[in-house]
Amino acid sequence: MLPFFRKIRYQMAKDNQFLKYSRYAIGEIVLVVVGILIALQINNWNEEKKEHEIFLSNLRSMRNDLISDTLGFNDYIEFLEQSSQLKEVLLREDSFDEYTLDSLIVLIQPFTDGNEINTKSYEKIDWSSVKRDASLDSLVSTIQHYYIVRKSRHDGNVEWDIAYAYKEAEYWYFHKNFEQSYLESVDIHIPYLRSDSQRLSDLKTELQTIEVRNLIRMAIYRKNWVKRTALKSKSEATKLLTSIEDYLESTE
């Protein structure tokens, strides 16, 4: 057996076939390596394309979220304006002679409402995997500012208004000199210690005290401050919505 292999090796060396076959083998290896690299590159391109399509899909969902946010801001701003206007009546009137007990109770009610920025689509995006370029860099920065900075400020103001509205509620619902009428809202009717006319007189007296006027004045200030923040949030949402629509249009 060994002599047989020696004979083949001798013949290859004699005919100079070894060098030719070595070059052929090396060429085959290079082709295989190049093929693998091309396949990996194509796979990377496909993965990047897939990730970009997912990103675009999330942007479309974010666009819908922003439309919903804008409508929510409109309702919230209207609520804040109406609440402030109701409280202003209490400070502008001198005698309240034309008001009934029920109408005054409506004016002193500590109304509050919540408002949230929808972050579902934003939270779905893996921002570390988003391939940034010049056209996308500015948009991503705007998106992150809205969902991080703007959302934090907006949420803080909403929570502030809710917290102090509850403090107002505690003041009126546990008042020492005036019996509130909140039980009627759940169809429970229990007699008061004083007649409606006496309760109306009590409430008018309270509305002329500095403590109550300061309470009402703070409520007006708070509602208007929160409204100003909500207007800024709405403005940012509108601008971001336009930027996203422009980017989506440029990719189609």
If you write DSSP's letter for every residue of 134-162 in order, what string do you get?
HHHHHHHHHHHIIIIIIHHHHHHHHHHHH
* The pLDDT of residue 2: 45
Q: How far apart are CA 111 and CA 240, in angstroms?
A: 31
* The pLDDT of residue 50: 74
* The pLDDT of residue 56: 85
Q: Is 134 left (phi over 0), alpha (psi -120 to 50) or beta?
A: alpha
At 206, give phi and psi (nearest 5°).
Answer: -65, -35
Q: Are 79 and 113 in contact (CB under 8 A)?
A: yes
CB neighbourhood size of 51 (10 A): 14
Residue showing tokens 């509050």:
112
Q: Are 180 and 173 in contact (CB under 8 A)?
A: yes
Residue 173 token pair: 């619902």
The one-character DSSP state at 187 is: T
* The model's pTM: 0.78
Mean pLDDT by 10 residues, the chain (252 residues): 50 54 63 70 64 84 96 97 94 90 91 92 83 79 94 97 94 90 80 93 94 96 97 97 93 76
Task: Tell which residue, 145, 162, 157, 156, has the closest CA to residue 235.
Answer: 145
Q: Are 73 and 116 in contact (CB under 8 A)?
A: no
* The pLDDT of residue 3: 54
Q: Are 65 and 120 in contact (CB under 8 A)?
A: yes
Q: How far apart are CA 134 and CA 117, in angstroms?
A: 27
Q: How far apart are CA 114 and CA 44, in angstroms?
A: 45
Q: How far apart are CA 109 and CA 112, in angstroms?
A: 9
Q: How far apart are CA 63 and CA 78, in angstroms?
A: 23
